[in-house]
Structure 1
Amino acid sequence: MKKQNYSYIGISFIILLFGIIFIPKILNRINNDGVVDKDRHNLERNDTQNDTLAFIGNKKVPAFQFANQNGDSISNADYKGKVYVVEFFFSTCQDICPVMNQNMQKVANAYPGENVGIASISIDPTYDTPEVLKDYAQAYGITHPNWNFLTGDKEEIFQLSNEGFNLYAAEGMDEEDQFQHSGYFALIDQEGNIRSRIDENGNPIIYYDGLSEEGVQMLIEDIEKLL
């Protein structure tokens, strides 16, 4: 009989201990919508990571110097102190370029001031002279003071695209497919570093999709983080 009483006492002690340890945690989770202190700490850390833009690589954007649509010499130094966006395109492109530049206009409209710039670099500089690019800018109604359409040495431009930014650009195989290039935009900070949003897995997206509304909206939001 005494042995049985000891068993009851032992079971009661275990139940009491369980209540002391676990019931406060359960109540805490309920009162905080299912998030306990440790979980909340993780969420705050993740939110902080999402607000921080990653640096892509350890090097700055390579130096470049080209002519813009007004015939003025423009270099990367002209963008120092500004947040700016870089794209590669060509004026006779009828495929992705019109979509890219319509979306780029959304970026320009969101930041019309002097602290944000855009560099649209032609991969067909033989045809895209400053005069052609000026007509192109006027056709799109572009008036942003820091949006430069740039042209120059083809070899330098292709090297800048493929090696400097790792954005694909190449000559096509025939007349119908004269040039091939990426539809992505690169975001550059005031010191010339390529910057990028971090995805939900903690990895940088590296570049922004210039063909999608989502990509352009992310770019607009992330420019604000650098200003």
Structure 2
Amino acid sequence: MRKNTYIGIATIVLIFGIIVIPKIYKRIANDDVSRGGRMHQEGGEKINDAPDGLIYINQGGVDRKVPPFSFVNQDNDTITNADYKGKVYLVEFFFTRCTDICIPMSHNLIEISKRFEGRDDFGIASFSIDPEHDQPAVLKKYQEEYGVTNPNWNFMTGDRSVIRKLSNEGFYLATNEEGDESDLYHSGLFALIDQNGFIRSRLDPYGNAKPYYRGFVPMNENVPEGGETPEIDILIEDIQKLLK
């Protein structure tokens, strides 16, 4: 049974890579999302590290920030982007009925949360792309099933079109387009946000901005040649950089 589960997850990840990732990078390319003025590139070499070793994600000469949002969480409390001010936090889009990539995503977030347990300056924002089903009571049960104890980890629900806009236009983390109800899909990536609401990341080995982290690949996974490598360890490193 366990072997069949891993095969199923591998199949979903493959399909995800074929369908969703090209959408994300098309959005990024069309909107000129690149390294900010704090990083420059000549001949493929980085020449100026950002002060904390991380870059700002730049679009049209402006460092990208989290857009304003307001949703209801698992406790029926209204949560806005202002509640995360002064905190380093992660953003994901998920849904509770997901039986494939959401499972390793949630386990990865649990492990990350444990690393920063007790810190009031770290949080997680999980937005459901299935809000009609994922009402506060459902999200509360999901929180309890995963043993989430971080008070700054909010599972949020709201208007579907608003959540889709936040995902597709605010973060460029692809989800279903408006009117596409055939399946629920999402990117499986995590965004890292600093204390001032800016989206942060690092450069890839080629000197290009790497806006997101693979949240759907389990930690310490043995990856076959050509497979998707885990990125949770480097994400933890980058969270630590921002928290210093």
Smaller-chain TM-score range? 0.7 to 0.9
State the superposition RMSD in angstroms: 1.9
Task: From 216, 221, 224, give the equivalent of 2:237.
Answer: 221
Counterparts of 1:60-99 in structure 2, within 5 Å, are 60-99=65-104
1:90-130, CA deviations, whole angstroms, 9 ceiling, x for partnerless residues?
00000110110000111101111111000010000000000
Distance between the aligned counterparts of 1:182 and 1:83, measured in 2?
21
Contact residue 158 and residue 169 of structure 1 kept, 8 A: yes
2:52–2:242 CA contact under 8 A, matched in 1 = no
Alpha-carbon separation, structure 1, partners of 2:97 and 2:48: 43
Shift of 1:52: 1.3
Q: 2:142 aligns with which of 136, 145, 148?
A: 136
Deviation (angstroms), 1:217: 0.9
- Deviations 1:2-29, CA, capped at 9 Å, x for gaps: xxxxxxxxxxxxxxxxxxxxxxxxxxxx
Instruction: Give percent identity, aligned residues only.
Output: 52
Instruction: Return the offset for 1:203.
Output: 1.4
Question: What's the offset of the Cα at 1:49?
Answer: 6.4
What is the aligned length?
180
**Among residues 168, 185, 188, which one is paired with 1:180 in the alignment?**
185
| Cα deviation, residue 211, structure 1 | 1.8
Alpha-carbon shift at residue 50 of structure 1 (Å): 10
For residue 241 of structure 2, what is the amino acid of its counterpart?
K
* Aligned 8 A contact 1:50 1:198 in 2: no
Distance in 2 (CA, whole Å) between partners of 1:51 and 1:78 is 24
Q: What is the Cα deviation at residue 205 of structure 1?
A: 1.2
Higher-Rg member (1/2): 1
In the TM superposition, what is the alpha-carbon distance from 1:180 to its structure 2 partner?
A: 0.7
CA deviation profile, 1:119-173 (whole Å, cap 9, x unmatched): 0100000000000000001011111111100001111100000000000001665
Gaps of 5+ in 2: 1-45, 220-229
Residues 1:152 and 2:158 are matched in the alignment: yes
- Once the 2 structures are TM-superposed, how far is the Cα of residue 189 of structure 1 from its aligned partner? 0.3
In the alignment, structure 1 residue 168 sits paired with structure 2 residue 171: no
Q: Greater helix share, 1 or 2?
A: 1
Q: Gaps (5+ residues) in structure 1?
A: 1-44
Question: Alignment partner of 2:176: what SS?
Answer: strand
> For the residues of structure 2 that align with 1:190 and 1:140, how far apart are their CA atoms?
26
- Matched position secondary structure for 2:233: helix
Query: Which of 99, 104, 110 is the aligned partner of 2:109?
Result: 104
Amino acid paired to 2:166: L
Question: What does residue 52 of structure 1 align with?
Answer: 53
Moved more, 56-65 or 118-127: 56-65
TM-score, L = length of structure 2: 0.70
Q: Which deviates more from structure 2 when the two are superposed, residues 178-187 or residues 53-62?
A: 53-62
SS at match of 1:149: strand
Shift of 1:200: 2.2
Contact 1:50 1:199 in 2 (8 A): no
Q: Distance in 2 between matches of 1:155 and 1:63?
A: 15
- Cα distance in 2 between the residues matched to 1:216 and 1:173: 31
Distance (whole Å) between structure 1 residues aligned to residue 139 and residue 64 of structure 2? 30
What stretches of structure 1 move > 2 A for 4+ residues in a row? 45-51, 171-174
| TM-score of the pair, normalised by structure 1 | 0.75
